[in-house]
Amino acid sequence: MKERLIYLHLRHGDEETFRSALPEFGPLSSHRRPDGIIEIIDPGFDDPSRYQQIREMAMQEFFQDFAAFIRPDSPHFDAEPFLPLLRKANPGIYAIADMIEEVVEGNHLELKNRLKKYYYTLFGAETIETVLGFIKADQNASRAAADLYMHRNTLNYRLDHFVSVSEIDIRSFRGAVAVYLLFR
């Protein structure tokens, strides 16, 4: 469990009442940023489903909905450029893979290039090419290892490292699509 920042854009309604209900879900602290985004600090973050429960409570109790971005715990990830997208995004809980889809579908080229540069800097071209090779091999590790001329253990090590640091599960369809869209 690590402390995590969650950014939330409340669509309408009474922000103070909403924020006063957050302690029901654990030791969460929140404050309103000057841009109107609510920043939640979750000192015991271990499961993003808690935020789905908060969203359900907000809709049932306060007739409010929101878009929330769970900031990845990746080293030096700058969430600031992505926060304006929360105002335009459909209500829901967005992990980084979901945010990548918003960036690509919204044709935000500057943000897309920023993300690509971030991941190339974080992992290096070799790991990114390994991840893309795995995706192009229909997420089949044996075929990807053969196509990339590498041992399967090396492939799995790189994939595991990418998933654990980026928080994008490329072994799932949703994560693979997000990475493919980002780097295509």
Q: Is the pLDDT of residue 77 over 90?
A: yes
Least confident of 44-53, 64-73, 96-105: 44-53
Q: Is the pLDDT of residue 26 over 70?
A: yes
Long-range contacts of 79-87 (CB under 8 A, 24+ apart): 79/5, 79/7, 81/110, 81/111, 81/114, 82/111, 83/7, 83/35, 83/37, 84/35, 85/111, 86/7, 86/8, 86/9, 86/37, 87/9
Q: In what order do the strands lie in the sheet with 29-32?
A: 29-32, 38-45, 2-10, 66-70, 92-94
Please give the share of the chain, as a percent, with pLDDT higher than 90: 72
pLDDT digits (tens, 9 = 90+) for 81-109: 999 999 989 999 999 999 999 999 999 99
pLDDT at 164: 95
* Assigned token pair, 75: 């080293």
What is the reported pTM? Answer: 0.90
pLDDT at 16: 86
CB 148 within 8 A of CB 162: no
Of 7, 4, 164, 17, nearest to 94 by C-alpha is: 7
pLDDT at 21: 87
pLDDT at 1: 59
pLDDT at 18: 85
Rounded Cα distance, 81 and 98, in Å? 15
Rounded Cα distance, 13 and 10, in Å? 8
The CATH architecture annotation of domain 2-94 reads: 2-Layer Sandwich (3.30)
Q: To the nearest whole number, what is the mean pLDDT of the chain?
A: 92
* Assigned token pair, 184: 């295509």
Q: How far is Cα of residue 128 from the mean position of the Cα atoms in its chain?
A: 18
DSSP letter at 172?
A: S
DSSP string, 99-125: HHHHHHHTT-HHHHHHHHHHHHHHH-H
Per the listing, tokens 């980026």 go with 166
Please give the share of the chain, as a percent, with pLDDT higher than 70: 99
